[in-house]
């Protein structure tokens, strides 16, 4: 299960060999924590395993899940294995009256790290969604009755890369972030649904000082609001 593809352009974060030692230390700490999460003692699905049925024992009839040889729509927890290997869990979740209802969790590493977490209501995505890549959070947002709603955020190397804003599955606008080699925010740009600069965008110096704040409308500069030098002195 994956979140829907977004129309926004996802901007990657530039990381170079010349990055600062402090940033490397912070990244190493993040990676170390990710390894700890990945190699945790107990599998994440353990709390569901005893009460769950094997997903392979479920069949689908007219978009409703049943247990084999049962005429009653399935209600309960399931556990899905990779290639029927009972030592390698891929996904756990729950059905109510034959439709996904409640939690759904996917795993990497046979159940020792999250791939995604989400919730369903009567077969539709509903509530918080989170996705991980190589043990690190890569995306999170909210669903409402199967539709994207509110703020969705993407991450690269533990840093915010983009934020999208939805209303009833419709993209309203989005923000993109880039970073200096020392990990400080470099740009925060605002775009409309047509991928044109729109609203207030900001740039920053390597020391974190605001460099400029500019208002755009449909891709064109509307007004230069503020400009500052490296030391925070206003530039006229």
Predicted confidence at residue 53, as pLDDT, reads 94
Query: Using one digit for the tens of pLDDT, what is the confidence trace for 129-149?
Result: 999 998 899 999 999 999 999
State the pLDDT at residue 51. 84
Strands 64-67 and 185-192: unpaired
For the chain, which ranges sit under pLDDT 50? Answer: 1-19, 35, 38-41
Q: Which pLDDT belongs to residue 172?
A: 98
pLDDT, residue 231, reads: 95
Please tell me the predicted confidence (pLDDT) of residue 37. 52
Burial (CB count within 10 angstroms: exposed 0-12, middle 13-18, buried 19+), residue 137: middle
Q: Give the DSSP letter string of the chain.
A: --PPPPSSPPPP----TT--HHHHHHHHHHHHHHHHHHT-SS-TTHHHHTTEEEGGGEEEETTEEEETT--SBP-EEEEEEETTEEEEEEEEEEEETTEEEEEEEEEETTTTEEEEEEEEETTEE-EEEEEEETTEEEEEEEEETTEEEEEEEEEETTEEEEEEEEETTEEEEEEEEEE-TTS-EEEEEEEETTS-B-EEEEEE-TTS-EEEEEEEETTEEEEEEEEB-TTS-B--
Gap between the Cα atoms of 1 and 116, Å rounded: 8
**Confidence at residue 87, expressed as pLDDT on a 0 to 100 scale:** 85
Rounded to two decimals, the pTM is: 0.79
Q: Could you tell me whether strands 76-82 and 52-54 are parallel, antiparallel, or unpaired per DSSP bridges?
A: parallel
pLDDT at 8: 36
Give the burial string for 37-54 (b: 16+ CB within 10 Å, else e): eeeeeebbbeebeeebee
**CA-wise closest residue to 212 among 235, 179, 185:** 235
Domain residue extents for the chain: 41-125
């Amino acid at each position: 299960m994956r979140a829907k593809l977004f129309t926004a352009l996802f901007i990657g974060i530039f990381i170079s060999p010349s990055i600062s030692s402090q940033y490397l230390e912070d990244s190493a700490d993040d990676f170390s924590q990710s390894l700890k999460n990945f190699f945790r003692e107990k599998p994440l699905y353990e709390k569901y395993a005893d009460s769950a049925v094997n997903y392979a024992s479920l069949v689908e009839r007219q978009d409703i899940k049943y247990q084999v040889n049962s005429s009653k729509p399935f209600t309960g927890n399931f556990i899905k294995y990779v290639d029927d290997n009972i030592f390698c869990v891929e996904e756990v979740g729950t059905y109510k009256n034959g439709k996904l209802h409640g939690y759904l969790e996917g795993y990497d590493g046979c159940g020792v790290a999250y791939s995604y977490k989400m919730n369903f209501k009567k077969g539709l995505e509903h509530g918080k969604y989170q996705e991980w890549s190589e043990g690190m959070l890569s995306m999170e947002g909210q669903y409402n009755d199967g539709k994207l709603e509110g703020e969705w955020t993407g991450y690269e190397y533990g840093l915010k890369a983009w934020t999208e804003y939805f209303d009833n599955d419709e993209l309203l606008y989005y923000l993109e972030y880039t970073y200096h080699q020392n990990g400080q925010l470099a740009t925060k740009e605002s775009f409309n649904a047509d991928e044109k600069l729109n609203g207030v965008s900001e740039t920053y110096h390597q020391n974190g000082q605001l460099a400029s704040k500019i208002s755009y409308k449909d891709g064109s500069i509307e007004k230069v609001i503020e400009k500052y030098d490296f030391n925070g002195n206003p530039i006229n």
